[in-house]
Amino acid sequence: MKKFILNVILLTTLILVSCSENDPYISFNDSSAAVPDAISQFDNSNFGIYKGIFVGSSGTILVNINNNGLISVSLTIDGVTYPFTTNVSVTENQQTEITFAYQNNSFTFTVEADGSNPLITNVSIEGHPDASIIVVKENSSYVANLYEGTYEGVGQNNDAGTFNAIVFNNEVYVLYKSTVYGSTSNASGAVDGNAISGVSSMGTVFTGNIDNDVMNGTWTTTQSNENGIWSLTRSDVSY
């Protein structure tokens, strides 16, 4: 069933990224249209705004590295926001590694000097074993929109779990976790207008549509005769 989730990701990918090339500030869903939190001064710097998704239940994260002169983190899990902090100072345009903590919880954030390859590792969150987080660096032209949702199988396929995604600049990044098997995986993809369609390397076909802040669709793996549905809703983040 891992391949199911991986494919779902591709599908999500396609569905998520509908930013207009002519107006980068407007996302595909009109109701979520917004100006990015990131400012142009830090578009190619380690400073700026990083947004992402959490699985291990479900949540979102915003990492602010001196975008407004402060270093802060808002990690929201199941609707509750936790303010992670650090005593580390950061120099602009240098490779960065920071350990953030809140009570007995912690994680490590790293990024290159130009803001590329942001990673969150060593995630330790009480009550959420094997939790994972992925992030992207937002820039002043495109909002990083975050979505939370679920997937499930139908018929003889009983797999199900958390299915979260980031939609950013015509790309989609997915992080999902099976509540049946306990496995966590990620994937990426793209979107074409309102329609979502894709085929994984395993032969799983996904189709779907975006309607304002909601994305949903179906998946089918012909060789194993498995199929199911997925659904995501946009989540707001702020700092």
CATH label of the domain that carries residue 214: 2.40.160.90
Is residue 165 in some structural domain? Answer: yes
Same domain for 133 and 146? no
For residues 121 and 165, state if they share a domain: no
Phi-psi region of 213 (alpha: psi -120 to 50; beta: other; left: phi over 0): alpha
Closest CA to 196 of 187, 208, 205: 208
Identify whether residues 93 and 56 lie together within a single domain.
yes
Q: Is residue 171 included in any domain, yes or no?
A: yes
- The whole domain housing 230 covers 2-23+142-235
Task: Judge if 224 and 147 occupy the same domain.
Answer: yes
Residues β-bridged to residue 80: 77
| Sign of the alpha-carbon torsion through 191, 195, 198, 204 | positive
187 in a structural domain: yes
Number of domains observed in the structure of the chain: 2
Residue 42 phi/psi, 5-degree rounding, is: -115, 20
> d(Cα 25, Cα 88) in Å, to the nearest integer?
33
Domain boundary among 103, 137, 171: 137
Give yes or no: residues 42 and 19 share one domain: no
Same domain, 71 and 105: yes
User: Is there a domain that residue 32 lies in?
Assistant: no
Do 108 and 41 reside in the same domain of the chain?
yes
Asked if 84 contacts 94 with a C-beta cutoff of 8 angstroms, the reply is no
Is the domain of 156 the same as that of 210? yes
In this structure, the number of other CB atoms found within 10 A of the CB of residue 180 comes to 13
Claim to verify: residue 132 and residue 156 sit in the same structural domain: no
- What spatial distance separates the first Cα and last Cα of the chain, rounded to whole Å? 37
Per-residue pLDDT of the chain (239 residues; tens, 9 = 90+): 444 344 444 333 333 333 333 333 333 444 444 789 999 999 999 999 999 999 999 999 999 999 999 999 999 999 999 999 999 999 999 999 999 999 999 999 999 999 999 999 999 999 998 999 999 999 999 999 899 999 898 987 888 889 898 888 878 788 888 888 888 877 777 777 777 665 655 566 677 777 879 988 887 767 778 788 889 999 988 77
> Last residue of a domain, which of 102, 137, 172?
137
- Is 30 inside a domain boundary? no
Residues 201 and 229 in one domain: yes
Q: Tell me, what's the pLDDT at 201?
A: 54
Pairwise CA distance, residues 197 & 201, whole Å: 14
* Residue 31 within a domain: no
pTM over 0.85: no
Please give the full DSSP string across 39-105, using - where no structure is assigned: -GGGTTSS-EEEEEEEETTEEEEEEEESSSS-EEEEEEETTEEEEEB------TTS-EEEEEEETTE
Shared domain for 70 and 84, answered yes or no, is yes
Return all residues near 204 (Cβ < 8 A) that are at least 6 apart: 3, 4, 6, 7, 219, 220, 221
| 28, part of any domain | no
User: Does residue 158 belong to any structural domain of this protein?
Assistant: yes
> Residue 22 in contact with residue 30, Cβ under 8 Å?
no
DSSP β-bridge partners for residue 162: 150, 177
Whether 13 and 70 map to the same domain: the answer is: no
* Residue at which a domain ends, from 87, 110, 137: 137
Give the Cα separation of 168 and 51 in Å (integer): 10
